[in-house]
Amino acid sequence: MENKPYSILLYYCYAKIADPAAYREEHHLFCLENNLRGRIIISSEGLNGTVSGLKEDCEKYMEYVKSDPRFADTDFKVEAHHDHAFAKLHVRDKEEIVHSSMRHINPREKTGVHLSPKDFKQLKDQEDVVVLDVRSNYEHSVGKFKNAITLDIDNFRDFPDKVHELEHLKNKKVITYCTGGIKCEKASAYLLEQGFENVYQLHGGIIKYGMEEGGEDFEGKCYVFDNRLAVEVNKVNPTIISKCYICEKPSDRMVNCASSKCNLHVAICEDCGWEMEGCCSDACKSDPEKRPYDGTGYYQKKSNGYNPYKGFSRKTTAKQVKQLHHG
């Protein structure tokens, strides 16, 4: 069995943070001191992150997060990997931990019933159950649960605008799902607010279902927000549901168009990827400023002179923060 020395962590936690800016600096510093990379969002409503690092460094990180009483019940999804899944570290202070148009909803006060992967597997095919994908088009285009309902949305913030299309399902048990569970916390609460009575959510999302139940009946791959782009979930009855955007042959290779002016997220087979130089169209291929294609279709944003301490407040230098941190 291949030894994979790194871990990739996917997690979120809705919890009140009184001073997000101050906690962001503390959190950022811990990640720097433990060689972690990834994208972490901190707001007054909690934490949301995807982090990569050596297994032992990720263990320290999980202990650090859960040792704070505010985040003690954080559920980490841990996947083994052969290297970092990110090139850099970004810890940002934002208004929400997932961008939505439902800021009034507090999942600590109201949300759908959490279903374990095992319970979800038992319920999903029952006659009075509807499985609802709350992710965006480019995510469910490459993979989704068998017979799941998908919504035509480009961003999660558009979810409330589509709920009227589900009115005929109010007498059903509705189970929402997403990648790791975070979007379902607000999506399921919003459904309850709109008069749906039996609302559930897959706890831990697609990733946890794949880890604990083998991913049965998840068709295609799961889109993820790191340099892997899409990962295998189903070890029981895997299939491919997406087609190459260029030649329409079955393909689940997710690619970001090499033209940064376009940046379309689509499936492109390996042959077309090289032929089109990572672009989705001839127009994009002729873009003189298109990014060089290396066969992956993943492009790290340019950051000349990348400084991992970037983001610390101007009032407090990184050196001062370290001095404060170490007493």
Nearest to 144 by CA among 21, 59, 230, 211: 230
247 counts as catalytic: no
Cα 178 to chain centroid, rounded: 8
Pick the closest to residue 48 from 179, 189, 221 (CA basis).
179
Nearest to 178, CA basis, from 129, 227, 218, 127: 218
Nearest to 233 by CA among 250, 251, 218, 223: 218
**How many beta carbons lie within 10 A of that of residue 283, not counting itself?**
11
Do the beta carbons of residue 59 and residue 4 sit within 8 Å?
no
Among candidate residues 173, 183, 227, the one with its CA nearest the CA of residue 205: 183
Question: Are 142 and 267 a contacting pair, CB within 8 Å?
Answer: yes
* Helix axes of 20-33 and 318-325: crossing angle, nearest 10 degrees: 90
> Residue 318: which H helix or E strand, with range?
helix 318-325
The dihedral sign for the CA sequence 144, 149, 153, 155: negative
The active-site residue, picked from 31, 58, 178, 184, is: 178
Each residue of 307-322: b (16+ CB within 10 Å) or e? Answer: eeeeebeeeeebeebe
Active site residues: 178
